A and B are shown apart, each in its own frame.
Chain A
């Protein structure tokens, strides 16, 4: 079993729909990251969370530390949101601060 599990693996939506991507993890963490990867490979950091909820534009990220679960929501989805969304967790405060990644969720938003 992976330490970080995402669901669903693939998600297809119509423009305007509300989208939720889930992430569950099995280790103690100091922070959880949501990343976005567009075709071509570059990865952009969307959120870093250690508790509660963060919002940026149409994106909302929540985390429940007790349940070891986080969700990424996209409101009023748009075709330009099509990308792979990756959940990653950082364990502890060691110098290396390694991230452990989920396998990603491929989101396709159709016009």
Chain B
């Protein structure tokens, strides 16, 4: 069963900590995405990557960075976590151009205290 795996379902971090959210897919997909989901705002794109070492900013990249050293792994980094980054984070992947649809991970609910 093909899937996207996020390393943690729930995470609690302190303000100012550096936080790593990991996402791994086993479908050989070119595209990988990081979204955050907040009530009333829906899913918003933080960053996406269409190839190894390639990345593009989404709609809300401030306070985040990403890393894609291998095709199957896309990491989201919160350089200095803040309380307004408390959210649900979802990773997704797709083939080049989006053909075949998108596969989402189960999400990581991050709380920054």
- In the complex the two chains form, is A86's CB within 8 Å of B42's CB? yes
Q: Which residues from 74 to 95 on chain A have a C-beta closer than 8 Å to any C-beta of chain B?
A: 86, 88, 90, 93-95
Interface residue from B41, B43, B50 paired with A86 (Cβ < 8 Å): B43
- Per DSSP, chain B at the interface is strand
A contacts, CB < 8 Å to B: 30-31, 33, 35, 40-45, 48, 86, 88, 90, 93-99, 101-104
- In the complex the two chains form, is A42's CB within 8 Å of B107's CB? yes
Instruction: Give the shortest distance, in Å, between B15 (CB) and chain A (any CB).
Output: 23
Known: A41-B90, A43-B90. A33 touches B107 (CB 8 A): no
- In the complex the two chains form, is B97's CB within 8 Å of A93's CB? yes
- In the complex the two chains form, is B56's CB within 8 Å of A41's CB? no
9 A-B pairs with least C-beta separation? A41-B107, A97-B98, A43-B104, A42-B106, A103-B42, A95-B50, A101-B43, A48-B101, A101-B42
Instruction: Give the shortest distance, in Å, between A10 (CB) and chain B (any CB).
Output: 12
- The CB with the most chain A CB atoms within 10 A, among B37, B42, B56, B105, is that of B42
Q: How far is the CA of A90 from the CA of B40 in the complex (A)?
A: 21
Q: Which residues from 42 to 79 on chain B have a C-beta closer than 8 Å to any C-beta of chain A?
A: 42-45, 48, 50, 56, 58
Q: How far is the CA of A2 from the CA of B42 in the complex (A)?
A: 11
Mask of B79-113 contacts with A, CB within 8 angstroms, 1/0: 00000000010101010111001111111010000
B25 interface hit (Cβ, 8 Å): no
Q: How far is the CA of A100 from the CA of B37 in the complex (A)?
A: 13
Interface residue from B44, B88, B98, B109 paired with A90 (Cβ < 8 Å): B98
Q: How far is the CA of A76 from the CA of B48 in the complex (A)?
A: 38
- In the complex the two chains form, is B48's CB within 8 Å of A98's CB? yes
Instruction: Give the shortest distance, in Å, between B27 (CB) and chain A (any CB).
Output: 13
- In the complex the two chains form, is A97's CB within 8 Å of B97's CB? yes
Q: Which residues of B contact A31 (CB under 8 A)?
A: 98
Known: A101-B42, A103-B42. A96 touches B50 (CB 8 A): yes
